[in-house]
Amino acid sequence: MSGEVHALREFYAAPPGQVAARLIGARIAALWPHCKELDVLGLGWAAPYMGLWAGQRGRRIMLVPAAFGPMPGAALTEDGRLPLPDSSLDRILLVHSLEVSEGARGLLRECWRVLRDDGRLLVIAPNRLGSWALFEHTPFGHGQPYSRGQLKRLLQDQLFRVERRDTALFVPPFPWRFALRGAGLWDRMGRRLAQRFAGVTLIEAEKDLLAAIPAGAARIRRRVVSPVPGTYARVRKDAPER
- How is the chain classified by DSSP, letter by letter? --S-S--HHHHHHSHHHHHHHHHHHHHHHHH-S--TT--EEEEES-HHHHGGGTTS-S-EEEEEEGGG---TT-EEEBTTB--S-TT-EEEEEEESSGGG-S-HHHHHHHHHHHEEEEEEEEEEEEBTTSGGGG-TTSGGGSS--B-HHHHHHHHHHTTEEEEEEEEE--S---SSTGGGTTHHHHHHHHHHH-GGG-SEEEEEEEE-TT-SS-TTPPPPPPP---PPTTHHHHHHHHSPP-
pLDDT for position 5: 61
pLDDT for position 6: 58
Measured distance CA(28)–CA(176) in Å, rounded: 25
Measured distance CA(133)–CA(137) in Å, rounded: 10
pLDDT tens for the chain, residues 1 to 242: 554 565 898 999 999 999 999 999 999 999 999 999 999 999 999 999 999 999 999 999 999 988 887 888 899 998 888 999 999 999 999 999 999 998 999 999 999 999 999 999 999 999 999 999 999 889 999 999 999 999 999 999 999 999 999 999 999 998 888 889 899 999 999 999 999 999 999 999 999 987 644 555 544 444 444 444 554 344 344 444 44
Instruction: Domain ranges for the chain, please list them.
Output: 8-238
CA 175 to chain CA centroid, Å, is 27
Contact 32, 90 (CB under 8 A): no
Neighbouring-strand partners of residue 203? 123, 165
pLDDT for position 212: 44
* Largest interatomic CA distance in the chain: 99
pLDDT for position 72: 82
Contact 142, 99 (CB under 8 A): yes
List CB contacts of 237: < 8 A, sequence separation 6 or more.
none
Contact 61, 41 (CB under 8 A): yes
Taking the chain, what is the end-to-end CA distance rounded to the nearest angstrom?
A: 74
pLDDT for position 222: 41
pTM above 0.75, yes or no: yes
CATH for the stretch 8-238: 3.40.50.150
pLDDT for position 232: 38
